[in-house]
Amino acid sequence: MKFLGSKVYRYPVFKTYWPFFVGAVATYYLIGKAQSAMENSEQYINDPRHPRFRRGEKDQK
């Protein structure tokens, strides 16, 4: 098989690097949790980009 003129060799990417893929999923999940916590803090709760305004909620005091 060729890609832009160069041969593509078969290499077991998943078999070699599976711990890093597991780490990436774990990082994504944890950053998502951190993002939710930061979004709902006092500093960003009334930011117009907050997703809760798309659901129709109003400004908090």
Partner 1 sequence: MPQLIPFFFLNQLFYGFLTLFILLILVSKIILPYILKLNIVRSIIVKF
Chain positions contacting partner 1, by CB under 8 A: 3, 6-11, 13, 17, 24, 27-28, 31-32, 34-35, 38-39, 44, 47, 49-51
Closest distance between partner 1 and the C-beta of residue 42, in Å? Answer: 13
Instruction: Say if CB 38 and CB 44 are below 8 A apart.
Output: yes
Residue 2 vs 58, nearer CB to partner 1 = 2
What are φ and ψ of residue 7, in 5° steps?
Answer: -70, 140
Residue 51 vs 56, nearer CB to partner 1 = 51
Greatest alpha-carbon pair distance for the chain in Å reads 62
Closest distance between partner 1 and the C-beta of residue 6, in Å? Answer: 5
Q: What is the dihedral of CA 5, 7, 13, 16, to 10 degrees?
A: -130
